[in-house]
Structure 1
Amino acid sequence: MDLFDHQLIPVRLTGERQSQIAFWPNWLDNDRADSLLSQAINHIDWRSDVIRIAGKTIPIPRLQQWFGAPKTSYTYSNIRLQAVAFPDWIEQLREQVEVQSGERFNRALVNYYRDGSDSVDWHADDEAELGFEPLVASLSLGAERVFQLRHNLTQERLDISLPHGSLLLMGPGIQTYWQHRIAKTKKVDQPRVNFTFRYMAQ
């Protein structure tokens, strides 16, 4: 685990205020990242959810699962995810992300992009239950995909390639002033799993 080799990327929120993205492109070595990718794909009980757009029911273009305290849930885009208790291997990963980032996390949304046709559209992780200016730590495993950010007012764009085993921490205010996505691509035919760790008070 690479504790020191990281980049701090300044991100403008408003004319007077900035935040940062902390990025560890080589946080996990290849053997550990390979093992976690295989374990995630084969042992997480993946959900296939749907959303309603313009009166039509459409499968979301990825699989997912929500981990946290039992009997709690998380809702976004009218999808309610009942929490699954952290298995020991994800709990260990959560603790390591906390040590690396110096932040506290007690929930994780895990997404499985089966190939480049799976994606997530522009959004922000700004649901009220995540609290004021939530921090999000994102661990990427598998195929390298481009993480795109877009400023809500200026439409400024920022692209970050997320390699296998990388860790990215979005700082305060980024969910308020920016949206992000993983776009579809025909250049990728391999799977990617993304752990996004968050904190919820309840």
Structure 2
Amino acid sequence: MRMRSIAALSATATALLLTVPQSSAAGPHDVRQGVRPAAKTAVCARTSLSIGVRQSGNPTVVHISVTNQGSRACTVDRVPIVTFGNLDGSALPVPPGETGPRRIGAGETAYAAVRTIADRSDPEARSVDTITVSAHPDHFGRTITARRLGAGDAVLVWEPVTTWWKPSKAAADEALEDATG
């Protein structure tokens, strides 16, 4: 009888230990050794970001930037969200990949390059009068008109692509060139 009780207690204790979340399982000796859970960097507040949008020397490429004007590092999505006028969808990332956080230090700027259209004479091209850029899916983006962008009355768009955020404009241009040839 006693053997069953110990086995039952042991099974109950094991089940309880297995239900404790891993992040809560650190014991007191972990703290003494300086082991702490990794701090998660917060998403940047929309008000702490400055977004720039400019036509490049190439009429099919737009340069965008995001600057963290806050006093602490924070995260944006690793792929900028770029939409065109009232068209459905946004520019596809190159290389393809899922969304995820990208850390930006206080005062740092990240850059991306967007190809709006591969062939300006493409009969399926659409004309839009605005481009909207956001650094995170939860943020409203910055909308800029084609005229203010320096593209005249309209931006031609068909199958647009965007690079992931890069540390420099040159790195963004290189990534776009590598991805689109």
- Where is the helix percentage greater, Structure 1 or Structure 2? 2
Query: Greater relative contact order: 1 or 2 (C-alpha under 8 angstroms, separation 6 or more)?
Result: 1
TM-score, normalised relative to structure 1: 0.22
The structure with more radius of gyration: 2
- Where is the strand percentage greater, Structure 1 or Structure 2? 1
